[in-house]
A and B are shown apart, each in its own frame.
Chain A
Amino acid sequence: MTWFLFALMVQAAGTTLLISFVAIAIGLVIGILVCGAMLSPSVVLRGPARLYVSFFRGVPLLVQLLLFYHLLPAIGINISSVAAALVALSLCTAAYQAENLRGGFLSVSRGLLEAAEAVGMERLQRFRRVSVPIAIRLTIPALVNEAIGILHASALISVVGVIELTKTARNFAATTFDPLPFYACAGLLYLGLTYGVLGLGRAAERHLAVRHA
């Protein structure tokens, strides 16, 4: 493998990172909304949110990608490769992130909430000052896990024509008829990206850690 091809592999790793990051970010926003809907007392909100989560966790991501790319044109919505990949990745990770967040909120101990009520906090205050900070801390490890999952799952998006890290390795393997160095290089680059995400997650945990005075 030449330096030029290696540089192109690194560039492809950048594409993988960018698409994964955007999907995680959009997924987090949608995930928060879906989690809110699932925790809401209203059935009108809870029902569709549960349907959403069961669909996007129930159908394999690969199938979702193919659905968005090949099925939407049948009703006149012909989205581009990158759009199909981002929509599928974001909507899928949103379902998982909503569940992670819901788990975080459900793990906030009742005793703490009762204590907050006892010191006179209003409902909204309890939510903002007790539930949210604790739930976020409890959710971060799961969020990091999900981010790594999406980083790796993004290897699938070449089925809709996005040229990311794995596809670049495949292309070069096919061109040179020498697959090993490219797959090895892709593996190492994924490992590097994964460590980057882990580092960010740890920094976030440190930042949010409860400091005892």
Chain B
Amino acid sequence: MSSSRSFSIKSLLARHETVLVLVILFEVILFQVLGRNFLTGRNFSNVFRHSVEIGLLAVAMTPVILTGGIDLSVGSMMGLCAVLFGMMVNSLGMNPWLAGISAVAFGAMGGGVNALLITRLNLPPLIVTLGTFSLFRGLAEAITKGAESYSGFSPSFLALGNSNIAGLPAQIWVFFIVAAGIWFLVHRTTFGRSFRAIGYASEGARYAGIPVARNTSLAYIIAGAVAGLAAVILVARLGEARANAGIGYELLAITAVVLGGVSIFGGSGTVVGTILGWIALAILNNGLTRISDYKIMDQTVASVARELSGLLTGLLLLTALTIGASTKTLAVRHARKQSLAKPTSNPATS
């Protein structure tokens, strides 16, 4: 039936994910035309090697935002876990893999602190995680006395951050596993269903017997654990554990999630959307550093890539949000018009 096909194309176009794929294609073409050596395997490996930590945080942030919450503490958590990891390996002589698992456990505990404050004391997530945002970073700096850093890790551990497995950066494989796990949790289990229900109407979810506190806690604990994992990967890539690891990463992760079409009010959004949002951001950051033939205000684009990428990220995010909001308004208007136009018709025609 032609009408149903046109409907499905329309709904495909209306999907946020489709728009993001187009944005990513546009970015790739633009940077390939303007820049140097953009579309090479080596560069592409680099794009993801350098932003995999943010990708991890973004994917783990998705369930939290689906519940209508937010976690500002994940960047600081990375700093704390990185320092704890370095301390365990260097000062305590622990096996780095064991220490890595411990760092993930510490991250989960930190997430548990957030969850406890949010679900038991009914404090707003923004305030709680703003508090732990400072607290975790402060602890990390206290442990290192503000200056110390840990280095001298074994080559086998550093390989996690710098080697390739099957042609892809080793840490990308970790990302795949985590992303697949969270995708399954969000889209294929009752936990994911309950995240949405809580995000749309937490009281309503409670009246349906959903364990709201328990499931909300799970989202924050996962976010914390993944922050711990991201810290270990960052240390493996840099070969150094410092208290300032992951500064500002929480905002980049939230940007990726929101750019990916997850509603900041909770309820709607997909893990695939988040991943696409993250890819769009990562390519934008990398691509600008490849443009050295063009100048902007007497500077080569590459030399001001950082500044420019901040500006463009903001523009991209605001544009995506505006388009999202206006299509939603249009859809609501359309639906209202339809229901007003034929109030007597029986919609149960299927």
Q: Are A and B part of the same complex?
A: no
Interface residues of A (CB under 8 A from B): none
Interface residues of B (CB under 8 A from A): none
